[in-house]
Structure formats: C-alpha cells, structure tokens
Structure 1
Amino acid sequence: MSFTSRLAHLGVSLPDAPAPAANYVPYVRIGNTVYVSGQISSDSDGMIIGKLGETMDIDAGAAAARCCAISLLAQVQAACDGDIERLVRVVKLTGFVNSTADFVDQPKVINGASDFLVEALGDAGRHSRSAVSAASLPFGVAVEIEGIFEVQ
C-alpha cells in the first residue's frame, strides 16, 4: 500500500509544509538525505501549548507529538517536490518535550510521533530516536521534533 493510501486510511492528508518561524530553512537535502528542522506542535486550531507534568498529561503530549510527525512528513513531501512516495525511510527523530523538572516520561510523549510514523509508513517508519526534556520551547509549545529522512 502506498504511503498516501496509508495516510488516507488513517484520515490524514498532509498539510502544506509549515513556513519557518525565523531565519532558517525548513529542510536541507543532501543527496538522498533530508534534514528537517524542528517542527513545533500545532494543528488546525493553532499551536499546541503546554508543559508536561504541569498543564498537560502524557496522552495530550503524545497527541501533540503526532502533530509534529505530520508536519515532518509535510516537509519531506515538499523536499521531494510534492511526492511523499519518494520517502525511503525515517532515519532518526530528536524529540524535545516542554516538561517540568520532575517529569520523566518524555519517551512516552514522543511515542505519539514514533507510533504514528510506523502506523503510517510501516517498516519505513521505524527509526532511531532521542527524547529529551526542555525547560521551555518556542512560543510555549508542548513538543518540538526534528528528523532525518532517506529519500529517492
């Protein structure tokens, strides 16, 4: 099944790739590798703001991470001239979780992105990963994730 079909089956259509919020590019492609800048948690209602362990629980954080993964795929699609089928695999994610000093479940939050990518892409979605705490993130968002992808 194509990635587009798998996404449609999940009820997901990739949005236009989000524009950068400052003086950087949203992705850099070198050969068959695409490095995607950090994508902040946002959905059709806007930015998903919150701090895990204070104003958000793990499920809400995982949902925010899933939104970051959708934005990552939108950037990959843009890097592939609009053809997400040129994606070969997700190589690595680095997830940052806006969390309190005593919150220790960052991996469970970033699972929202990892689980979605495997569900949407199958084995091509399996990746290496880091999940770390941040005292704060831009605009007060709950999650930011950057990624490395292999493309054709």
Structure 2
Amino acid sequence: MESFPTELGVLTCLMLLAASLWIPYIVGVNTAPAGSLPADAPDGFIRIPNPALHRPWVQRAWRAHLNLLEQGIPFAILVLLVDRVDGFTALTYWTAIAFFWLRVAHAIGYITGFARLPLRPLIFLGGWLCCLIMGYAVFAARMV
C-alpha cells in the first residue's frame, strides 16, 4: 500500500475545518438575544444570511468562514497539483502544516476579535505566501 502524503492529510483537515467553520456563525445567529435584531426584520430573518445585522462576533464568524474559503480553495488546488506532478518535498510538507495552523489561528483570532490589525492581515499574508510556495513546488517539479 502506498503511503499517504502528509500534505494530503493536512489538506483533509483543512477541508474539514472549512466544512465546519459555518457552525460559529449559525450558533451566533440562532442565539441572538431578544431585541438584538432590528424591529423591522422580516419574518424568518434568522435564516437570511445578512451578518451585517448581527452582533460583531457573528459578523466576524461569517467573514472568517469566507476568508478560509477564499484562501483554502486555491491552496487545496495547488496541493492537489503538487500531488499530481509528484512534487512533494520537505518544503511542501512544512508549508502545508504552516498553512493549516495559520488558518486555525486566523479563524480563532478573527471570531474572538483577538487578532486585530496588524496581526490578522499578517496571518492572511502568511497563508498567501504558503500558496505561492505550493505554486512554486508545482513548477519546480515540472522542471525536473
């Protein structure tokens, strides 16, 4: 049996995080205190995804989920491309691990409000650099 590359295991965990990061938003929406929603909110407002009308942490939970999708999908595709060209190296190993933990830190920091300027953008920048490294690995493997 072939070994399962760590990068694909990390990618699996990352996609499970992305698939689960809607939970804080839904919990926040469904636990809104009475009177916290606009008086003129239409019936069924809770089910309408308009985070701008919710508490700040609920708004941040919505954005944390979107941010993970914005960066996680390109990263996932790059990891799959590196796998396709058989380009996994020590660099891709550590890049995948770093990307996962950066995204966990970003989500926690964003939702809690702890990661403010300049920390949150720096974490996002770190994730972008991980994407660039994976992109480099695709091309480096193709040149060998």
Q: Same fold (TM over 0.5)?
A: no
- Greater strand fraction, Structure 1 or Structure 2: 1
Q: Which has the higher contact order (CA 8 A, sep 6+)?
A: 1
Larger radius of gyration: 2
- Greater helix fraction, Structure 1 or Structure 2: 2
Query: Normalising by the residue count of structure 1, what TM-score does the alignment of the two structures yield?
Result: 0.30
